Amino acid sequence: MIWKVLAVSIFGAVLCLDRVFIQAMFSRPIVTAPLVGLILNDPYTGLIVGAFIELFWIDQLPIGGHCPPNDTIVSVLVTASAIEASRLLGAMPRGLIALAVLITIPIGLAAQRIEHWFIRVNGTLAKKAVEDACHGDTRSISRGHWSAVLRYGLASWATILVALPAGIFLLSWGYPRLPSAITRGLDLVYMILPLVGAAVALNTIHQRGTVPIFCAVFLGASILFGIIRGA
């Protein structure tokens, strides 16, 4: 498991870099979670988690100065912790995924604050880059650029490396000890999460005629997930 945690933390940190550096949309939950699931030989769980998180924060876009919650780290942690905990438990109950989402969302909000700090630091680096440009010091500009990328990548890696083992332990140790009433409630949360995400997504739709399209896509995706699960 140690090697899996290391592999997922490194891969997750690379995906997090897409949020600030590459920006090719690999950091979106619908992409991140299935990729992590593929690494851990459970792409179906990755698809489910990716759909949940993508819909849940679909209205939080990095537009202008707005820094959304770090849904990339949440996707990595929920997917990996749920998969590894289910292997320790010998089963993947639906409530386990719901519990993973509930305990991991605060980490995404904490990572959002860390990103705010990086934005302020990068503002200072940008001013220094302007001064270096006035002096023609291109090497200093390059060093500042890569140091900012490296710091963000290391912070993402450290966050996942610390939070993932803790999440696996909490899920594998805590879930079997929960009262049956709470586990039934978590099963209900699992069923409600897509509805909450759909409500958030529908709230972002303002163009005429797009609601039926969204509903058709959502229904088609649900059927596809069921077919994949049955296979």
The model's pLDDT over 141-200, given as tens digits with 9 standing for 90+, comes to: 677 667 777 888 888 899 999 999 999 999 999 999 999 999 998 988 888 877 777 667
For 179, counting Cβ atoms within 10 Å of its Cβ (0-12 exposed, 13-18 middle, 19+ buried), the class is exposed
Q: pLDDT of 3-26, one tens digit each?
A: 899 999 999 999 988 887 777 788
CA 104 vs. chain centroid, Å, equals: 9
Identify the sign of the CA torsion 99, 103, 105, 107: negative
Mean pLDDT, the chain, whole residue set: 80
Instruction: Please tell me what DSSP assigns to residue 176.
Output: G
The helices-and-strands tally (H runs, E runs) of the chain is: 8, 0
Average pLDDT over residues 104-126: 79
Cβ contacts of residue 180 below 8 Å, gap of 6+?
Answer: none
Domain boundaries, given as residue ranges, for the chain: 2-125+153-230
Residue holding tokens 């140690």? Answer: 2
